[in-house]
Amino acid sequence: MIRCVRLWTGEDNNSHFEEGVIELEPGQRGDALSGKIDAVTISFQETGSGGTFSWHKAPTRQLVITLSGTLDFQTRDGQHFLLHPGNVLLAEDTTGSGHSWKLTDDTSWRRAYVVLRRGAHVPFRAKERQPAQA
């Protein structure tokens, strides 16, 4: 499974996130693979070490695949999550108050943006939440 974090806008107009995976099925030669995901474009971007981006929302529904760099993402309610190389962000917070990020290491953030076609299915599965301890 491939680690994926889904970021979306809640009813409170703030960004929220949940940890999960991109589901993979058995394939040929013992590989694990997803089905094809309907995408419009793919582009690449690099931000030098020390980079930050203050509050913003995703410009469109997209997958962001981290190739290098480690990032700390934050939501307006103070929640944080880290993205590492090989992680995927499913950015769906295209409205609302948005999120911010900053690089946490001395490496550039290299990533691929995969813009999804409207209505495209992404095989994201949220991690099961542990019940609260009494």
Enumerate residues 6+ apart whose C-beta is below 8 A from 67: 85, 110, 111, 112
> Taking 70 as the threshold, does the pLDDT of residue 102 lie above it?
yes
The answer as to whether 101 is a domain residue is yes
The answer as to whether 13 is a domain residue is yes
The answer as to whether 8 is a domain residue is yes
* 22-70 confidence digits (pLDDT tens): 999 999 899 999 999 999 999 999 999 999 999 999 999 999 999 999 9
Q: Which domain holds residue 6?
A: 2-126
What is the Cα–Cα distance from 49 to 22, expressed in whole angstroms?
28
pTM: 0.92
CB 123 within 8 A of CB 34: yes
The answer as to whether 134 is a domain residue is no
Domain count, the chain: 1
CATH at 55: 2.60.120.10
Separate counts of helices (H) and strands (E) for the chain: 0, 13
> Taking 80 as the threshold, does the pLDDT of residue 132 lie above it?
no
